[in-house]
Amino acid sequence: MSSFRFWRCLLLSFCVVTFCVSVVSAQHKSITPTTSFTVSGHVRNPGRFSLKGLQDYPKQIEDSVMVIDKKGMVKTTLYHVQGVLLTDVLNAADIQMADNRDYNRLAVILTASDGYTNVYSWNELYNTPVGKAVYIVTSVNDSAPGDYNGAILVFSNRDLVSGRRHMKALQNVEVRLLTPAE
């Protein structure tokens, strides 16, 4: 009878471990690296932007960038970071609104290849210091464009908790006009 208990315990342990591994795997979607992203929505010039094409934009350089998690702990530090401002890309796409008051209802929605999403308001990007530090990263540690894991990163260097909007593998930037609550 003790042999039966042993095999039953072993089988139960195996089932528990298998279940735990599948739950953890389901929580971590794989990130497909990106070398380009689209800009769509309320813009005059929608299209695809590549890492190579971003080299034509004014470069922004940060010596080091700390990614800080929700507990205030440094999750990672990126060194020798080069990128372009998100606002420079949005200016090239040429956001268009019929009424100037509609800019107050614009959301800029960034989506990564794994579905991770960040949202900025137009006012946040153009009327606060945050907008002068939201970067689409083209190089980390002086690497060649696209050599960094995840290829196209986005981060906001003025956020107090920067980890929430640290994005890997940018795939799409949508400029969306939010409808007013009725």
CB 42 within 8 A of CB 106: yes
CATH of the domain at 99: 3.90.420.10
174, containing H or E segment: strand 170-177
**50 and 2 in a common domain:** no
**Encoding tokens for residue 166?**
């640290």
**64 and 148 in a common domain:** yes
Q: How many domains does the chain have?
A: 2
**36 and 23 in a common domain:** no
**96 and 20 in a common domain:** no
**126 and 47 in a common domain:** yes
User: 182 lies in a domain?
Assistant: no
**104 and 90 in a common domain:** yes
Name every residue whose Cβ is closer than 8 Å to that of residue 25 and which is 6 or more positions away in sequence: none
Name every residue whose Cβ is closer than 8 Å to that of residue 78 and which is 6 or more positions away in sequence: 62, 64, 65, 67, 137, 140, 141, 153, 155
pLDDT for res 149 = 65
Could you report the average pLDDT of every consecutive run of 10 residues in the chain (182 residues)?
Answer: 50 41 46 92 96 90 83 86 94 92 95 95 96 90 67 85 85 94 62
**Encoding tokens for residue 79?**
């060194």
pLDDT for res 45 = 96
**65 and 147 in a common domain:** yes
Q: Smallest Cα–Cα separation from 77: which of 86, 68, 66? A: 66
In terms of residue numbers, what domain contains 7?
Answer: 1-28
pLDDT for res 145 = 62
pLDDT for res 170 = 95
**68 and 52 in a common domain:** yes
CB 101 within 8 A of CB 63: no
**127 and 113 in a common domain:** yes
pTM: 0.79
Catalogue the E-assigned strands of 1-152.
Answer: 36-41, 47-50, 60-68, 74-85, 106-112, 117-121, 134-139
Q: How far apart are CA 13 and CA 135, in angstroms?
A: 47
